[in-house]
Amino acid sequence: MSRTILPDPRQSPRFAGIATFCRYPLLDLVPTECRPVDWAIYGVPFDGGVTYRPGARFGPRAIRDASQYVKRYSIEHDLDLCDTLSLADAGDAPVRPYSCKDNADTVAAFAESLADPNHTRLLAVGGDHSIAYSNIKATWSRRGRPGGGLALLHFDSHLDTVDSVWGERWGHASPFIRAIEDGLIDPKRMLSIGIKGPLNSRADLDYAKGKGVRLITHGEWGRQGPAMLAAFRQELGDAETYLTFDIDCVDPAFAPGTGTLCPGGFTSAEVLAIVRSLVGVNLVGADIVEVLPDRDPAGITAFLAAHILFEILCLDGARRPKASRA
């Protein structure tokens, strides 16, 4: 029996019915025989932490709609994801639109309570990048508060280790400095991929470099990035790893619907290939953030984010023993 029961798209059209992430069942409606749920996917419609364009609060809704056309079988991994993992849409977290800190605490408490904390992994769909802190905290707590913090794979154009902007310490420029301070992630096992400029100053690099965070700038990717990533992965071994994906690491020609555009990024094909190359990583949590649908009337940004969501889940599915793939 399939681990995730989906409507048959040749009987029930993808454009019909209530939208859920990739048409996965709502968490409360997962049949007993498909429990415990392996991944709970939930939205966080919050963008109170942005420093430029607002609108990512509508990201989860747009990605849900776009994901109706995400299918279940991965050619690259030879994997039927729904036969391998039990997947569910856990709805949207409650949000506190007027306070970044209150929102971080509220979302973390919601995420910690979802499904089976001893089994179910969490994938948060934002919203701005400030929501990553909450899902990292919930993941860290549910994994038994591992010593030294989680390893982190970070896709982004920006470092997101700024102490504060306009006096706000919990905005989308600061999730990883807060997570490092709280021991949720290990900066010496953190790799940021796709960073590109310009920056406000050279000093913007100081915190990350001083803590041992590794960077692969977009410029470096073309010269030695794959080798640097392979070396980092070998160093990680079987460490519990969180993946955070800011859509603005993709060039705005391919993902125009985001709030802090940075030209010269990855193509859609490149970034999908990089995510697929991470197969084997012990992925215990993830997020996708900064989709701003109002700036992309064609919907290609949300559509790409929906497929990145699928590829992230495939990393866990492909790591499972083949015997478990019914």
Strands laid side by side in the 39-44 sheet = 87-92, 39-44, 121-126, 283-289, 241-246, 150-155, 185-195, 214-217
Q: Is the pLDDT of residue 147 over 80?
A: no
Residue holding tokens 């030209």? 263
Residue 80's DSSP bridge partners are 73
Token pair of 80, please? 């039927």
Residues 101-110: tens digit of each pLDDT: 999 999 999 9
Q: Is the pLDDT of residue 323 over 80?
A: no
Model confidence pTM above 0.85: yes
Residues 264-274: tens digit of each pLDDT: 999 999 999 99
- DSSP secondary structure code for residue 37 in this structure: P
Residues 216-241 have a mean pLDDT of 96
- Tell me what pLDDT residue 1 has: 65
**End-to-end distance of the chain based on CA atoms, in angstroms?**
7
Which has the minimum average pLDDT: 79-88, 124-133, 177-186, 315-324?
A: 315-324
Evaluate the omega torsion of the peptide bond into residue 147 and state whether it is cis, within 30 degrees of 0: no
- Tell me what pLDDT residue 326 has: 45
CATH number of 21-324: 3.40.800.10
Residues 36-46 have a mean pLDDT of 98
How many beta carbons lie within 10 A of that of residue 1, not counting itself? 8
Average pLDDT, the chain: 95
Residues 136-146: tens digit of each pLDDT: 999 999 998 77
Q: Are 274 and 263 in contact (CB under 8 A)?
A: no
Q: Is the pLDDT of residue 122 over 90?
A: yes
